[in-house]
Each structure stands twice: as C-alpha cells, then as structure tokens.
Structure 1
Amino acid sequence: MSLYDEVGGAPTFERLVHAFYEGVAADPPLRALYPEEDLVPAERRLRMFLTQYFGGPTEYSEERGHPRLRMRHAPFPVTMDMRDRWMRHMLHAVEVAQVPEPQAEAMRDYFLRAAHMLVNTDDGQGHPPLTP
C-alpha cells in the first residue's frame, strides 16, 4: 500500500495542500513568489504532484510531464528564508491534515529535502545557494 493510500488518499491531500496555501496567502514574502492572481492553479499543481509522489494517481505527469522540480523553480529566487517559510507552512499543513505517524515523518523528511534542494539564491545572510 502506498503512503497516499495509508493516509487516506485524495481527501487528505486536499486538506494538506489547502492548509499549506492558506499559510502562503497570509505570508507576503512567500506569496510574492506565486505569480498568479489566484492561488488555485498552484494549489492544484502541488496537490497533483504530491499525490503522484506519494503513490497516488499520476495525473501530474500525464498533464505536465516530468516534475523537473529544480528547473520549474529556477526562475524564482528561492532563498533559505523562503525555504524556511515554505517549510513552516507545510509542517503546519501536515498537522492540520492530521497525517498519522510514521507517514507524517516520511512526508516531513521529503519536504525538508525537497525544499532545501530548491534553494537557488543567496539570501544575503551568508547562506549561499545550492549548486546543481
């Protein structure tokens, strides 16, 4: 059974991603990284991606191709501060979605690794960007 199924499938991922984007909407520096007027398209893309990553339906790849996370995030200045803001909202979303342990730990681990990998800009605090 996939993690997607273990945590309750689509309803859990809908709660998770919706709670995350509620945090993004209330965080002006992070919100500025999302070019759309409405966060609904970004919410849908992240929900499809996470659904697929954690073993659910593959709608993301069917619609958008390979995820290519670094390439898709390259145009945006992702600093350590942005990474930390993103993580704060995602960790809160895991709690809101009531993801059980040990699945929550597996998700937190993935989110931390992915968020850190996407840092691509020095934040002026002595934290250099990661290099490919």
Structure 2
Amino acid sequence: MSAEESGSQAATPFERLGGEQKVRALVDHFYDLMDLEPAYAKLRALHPAELHGSRDKLFWFLCGWLGGPSHYVDRFGHPMLRARHLPFSIGIAERDQWMACMKQAMHELRIDESLAERLAAAFFNTADWMRNRGG
C-alpha cells in the first residue's frame, strides 16, 4: 500500500527518486555528461578542473532540497544559492545547458517521467534564479 493509500503523508521527491543512492547516481551522471558532452562546454567551463567537490556539494544540496537529509545545511548553513553563484557568469546559455544536462541525466537514469517533469520545472525555476546576466 502506498503512503497516499494509507492516508499518511505522501512520499517526498527524495523518497520517490529512490533516496541517497539514486540522488548520488543522478548527480554523478549529470557531472559525467557535463564533463564528456561538447554540448555542455560553457557549463563545464564554470567548474573547477576536478569535479569531486562540485559533485559532493550538489549531492548534499539535492538531498535536502528534495526532502531528504539536510547534509548541505549541516555542513555549510543556508545554501544562499544566488549569492554563492554570483562570482560566475551565468546567462541563458549556461542555464539552458544546465537544464539540458540534468534532463538528459534524468532520462538516461530512467527517472519516473512524471517525477522528472516535476523536478525539471523546479530545477528550471532555480536555474533561472541563478542567472546574473542576460545572454
């Protein structure tokens, strides 16, 4: 019986996704694609040569953002995403590459389509908020 059928609170996106193991797989696949696919070159250029720290920070952040453990907040406090991204030149192209890379990662990991659509909409709002220039 699902949580909804039993009358208890609905599963969080974190739970629906499959918990920490699946969030880690999504983050790792996202960064693997970003590192390998020429279509994501502008996005890749914003990151350090070694991606281990970036992978961990996105994993920690997404766990909490999706309704799971607050790993990021426990380590660093409030995410302050926009402030933390201000040093990087992020425009529409970078936003769109981030979104395309994440959508590709979700698709290739066979994330449930309805969940992937909901996540993509939420990711877009956040990615668009990170923009600090027009182009």
Could you tell me the TM-score, scaled by structure 2's length?
A: 0.85
Counterpart position of 2:134:
122
Q: Post-superposition shift, 1:101?
A: 3.3
* SS, match of residue 113 in structure 2: coil
Unpaired runs of 5+ residues, structure 2, are 1-10
1:51-78 per-residue CA deviation (whole Å, 9 max, x = no partner) reads: 1101111111000110111001000000
Counterpart position of 1:28:
41
Q: Which has the larger radius of gyration?
A: 2
Counterpart position of 2:110:
98
Counterpart position of 1:130:
none
Q: Post-superposition shift, 1:92?
A: 0.5
Counterpart position of 2:24:
14
Which structure would you say has the larger RCO, counting Cα contacts within 8 Å and 6 or more residues apart?
1
Give 1:52's match in structure 2, choosing from 64, 70, 76: 64
Q: Post-superposition shift, 1:112?
A: 0.8
Taking only the aligned residue pairs, the percentage that are identical comes to 32
Q: Post-superposition shift, 1:10?
A: 1.1
Q: Is residue 15–residue 96 contact of structure 1 (8 Å, CA) maintained in 2?
A: no
Aligned mates of 1:102, 1:111 — CA distance in 2: 14
Could you tell me the TM-score, scaled by structure 1's length?
A: 0.86
Aligned mates of 1:113, 1:49 — CA distance in 2: 16
Aligned mates of 1:28, 1:104 — CA distance in 2: 24
RMSD (Å) for aligned C-alpha atoms: 1.2
Task: State yes or no: 1:85 paired with 2:97.
Answer: yes
Aligned mates of 2:60, 2:80 — CA distance in 1: 14
Q: Is residue 12–residue 99 contact of structure 1 (8 Å, CA) maintained in 2?
A: no
Counterpart position of 2:51:
39
